[in-house]
C-alpha cells in the first residue's frame, strides 16, 4: 500500500514557558475566575506528534484569555513524547513507551506496571478527576474531515451539538487496547454531569488542523460558559462562525487486529462508505474482514497495523 507523505506544515510551539505552571504538575496551568462555575480542562499532546492542540493552547495562553466563571485548566499531556518531535520523522513521537490514551482504567492506573506514559497519566489523574468538562485535542493520520468523538453517552452528543462544529460527530466506545482519557470516570457515567469530547482536527501536520483545533476549542469554551463570544473573537478562525448541519456516525464495532499480518484490501483513508454488505475491508492473516451491513462507514483506518490494535472502526450515519 503506498504511504501518503504529508508535508509538515505546522511548527511545534515552544511549551517551555508553560512547564512550571501553577498546579504543582508540570505543564498544567489553572486560571480561577473566583466566580462559581464549572472546572473546564483542555488538553493537548495526548499523542506527542499531534501538534495542532499545542498550537491552539499556546495561542490561548498568549492571547491572555481568562475564564468568565469557574476554572480553566490547560494541560500538555505527553510532553516526553513531544520532546522527541522531529519533522523528518514526525510519526516517531506519538509516544515513548506506550499509548497514553489507552491507560485510563482504574486497574491500569492503580496497578504496578511502569512506563513513561503511565507515570504521566498517574500524575495527571487528579487534574482529570477535578474537571467537569474536558476537551482533548487530537489529529489524525490521514487528511479527512474533522471528527468530534463523543463516546457513548447522550450528554456528550448534546455538548458536541452545542459546540456546533465540526460537521461530523462520532459515537464510539473506544479501543480494545484500553480506555481513553475522554472515557474516564464520570465522563462515561450517565449519572454524572461530567462531560468530555475529543476532537480529531484533521491530518497531523496540515495547517488546517491547527485552525480546526483552535476554533473547536473556542466554541467549546463558549458552550460551557468559560469564555464569552466577544472574548474568543480575537483568536477566531475560518470555522468560528460556521453552522454546518451536524451528522452523527454511530460506531458499531472496532476491528481489532489479531495477527501479525493484517492488510487492507484498498488504500482506505477514512469516511469511505462501502456497499453492499459483505464488501472486503481487509485480511487478518488471510481471514477476510467484510462489511457487516450496507453503507458501512470506515473510520480512521490505521497505518500502525499491529496485533491488539484497532485497524479501523465501522459505523453508519444515523442522522
In SS3 terms, 239-272 reads as CCCCCCCCEEEEEEEEEECCCCCEEECCCCCCCC
Sites for Zn ion among residues 260-299 (CB under 5 A): none
Closest approach of Zn ion to the CB of residue 53, in Å: 9
Closest residue by beta carbon to Zn ion: 138
Q: Which of these ranges, 46-54, 63-71, 190-198, 211-219, lies near Zn ion under the rule CB under 5 A?
A: 46-54
Number of residues that bind Zn ion (CB under 5 A): 3
Sites for Zn ion among residues 72-91 (CB under 5 A): none
Nearest Cα neighbor of 148 from 132, 160, 134 is 160
Q: Which of these ranges, 2-10, 117-125, 131-139, 205-213, lies near Zn ion under the rule CB under 5 A?
A: 131-139
Q: Which of these ranges, 11-19, 136-144, 276-284, 294-302, lies near Zn ion under the rule CB under 5 A?
A: 136-144
β-strand 39-44 against 133-140: which pairing, if any? parallel
Does 175 engage in binding with Zn ion (CB under 5 A)?
Answer: no
Does 138 engage in binding with Zn ion (CB under 5 A)?
Answer: yes
Beta bridge partner(s), residue 44: 76
Task: Name the one residue in this structure whose C-alpha cell is 514526525.
Answer: 90
CA–CA distance, 75 with 150 (Å, rounded to integer):
20
Nearer to Zn ion, 47 or 313 (CB): 47
- 235 with 221: CB under 8 angstroms? no
Beta bridge partner(s), residue 315: 251, 297
Closest approach of Zn ion to the CB of residue 291, in Å: 25
Closest approach of Zn ion to the CB of residue 293, in Å: 27
- Helices 154-163 and 207-223 cross at an angle (nearest 10°) of 110
Does 47 engage in binding with Zn ion (CB under 5 A)?
Answer: yes
- Helices 207-223 and 52-63 cross at an angle (nearest 10°) of 50
What would the x/- binding string for Zn ion be over residues 187 to 226, using CB under 5 A? ----------------------------------------
Does 102 engage in binding with Zn ion (CB under 5 A)?
Answer: no
Residues at the interface with Zn ion (CB under 5 A): 47, 50, 138
Amino acid at each position: 500500500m503506498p504511504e501518503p507523505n504529508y508535508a509538515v506544515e505546522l511548527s511545534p510551539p515552544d511549551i517551555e514557558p508553560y512547564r512550571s505552571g501553577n498546579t504543582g504538575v508540570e505543564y498544567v496551568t489553572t486560571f480561577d475566575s473566583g466566580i462559581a462555575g464549572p472546572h473546564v480542562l483542555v488538553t493537548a499532546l495526548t499523542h506527542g506528534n499531534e501538534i495542532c492542540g499545542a498550537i491552539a493552547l499556546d495561542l490561548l495562553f498568549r492571547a491572555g484569555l481568562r475564564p468568565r466563571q469557574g476554572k480553566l485548566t490547560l494541560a500538555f499531556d505527553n510532553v516526553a513524547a513531544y520532546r522527541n518531535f522531529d519533522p523528518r520523522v514526525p510519526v516517531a513521537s506519538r509516544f515513548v513507551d506506550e499509548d497514553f490514551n489507552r491507560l485510563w482504567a482504574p486497574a491500569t492506573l492503580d496497578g504496578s506496571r511502569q512506563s513513561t506514559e503511565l507515570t504521566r497519566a498517574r500524575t495527571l489523574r487528579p487534574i482529570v478527576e477535578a474537571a467537569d468538562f474536558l476537551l482533548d485535542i487530537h489529529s489524525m493520520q490521514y487528511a479527512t474531515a474533522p471528527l468530534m468523538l463523543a463516546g457513548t453517552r447522550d450528554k456528550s452528543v448534546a455538548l458536541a451539538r452545542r459546540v456546533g462544529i465540526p460537521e461530523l460527530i462520532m459515537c464510539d466506545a473506544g479501543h480494545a487496547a484500553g480506555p481513553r482519557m475522554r472515557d474516564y470516570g464520570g465522563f462515561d457515567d450517565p449519572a454524572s454531569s461530567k462531560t468530555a469530547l475529543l476532537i480529531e482536527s484533521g491530518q497531523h501536520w496540515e495547517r488546517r488542523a491547527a485552525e480546526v483545533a483552535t476554533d473547536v476549542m473556542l466554541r467549546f469554551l463558549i458552550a460551557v460558559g468559560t469564555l464569552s463570544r466577544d472574548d474568543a473573537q480575537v483568536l477566531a478562525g475560518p470555522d468560528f462562525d460556521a453552522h454546518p448541519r451536524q451528522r452523527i456516525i454511530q460506531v458499531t464495532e472496532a476491528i481489532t487486529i489479531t495477527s501479525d499480518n493484517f492488510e487492507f484490501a484498498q488504500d482506505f483513508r477514512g469516511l469511505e462508505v462501502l456497499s453492499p454488505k459483505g464488501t472486503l475491508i481487509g485480511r487478518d492473516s488471510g481471514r477476510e474482514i467484510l462489511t457487516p451491513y450496507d453503507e458501512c462507514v470506515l473510520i480512521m483506518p490505521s497505518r500502525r497495523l499491529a496485533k491488539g490494535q484497532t485497524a479501523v472502526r465501522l459505523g453508519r450515519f444515523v442522522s
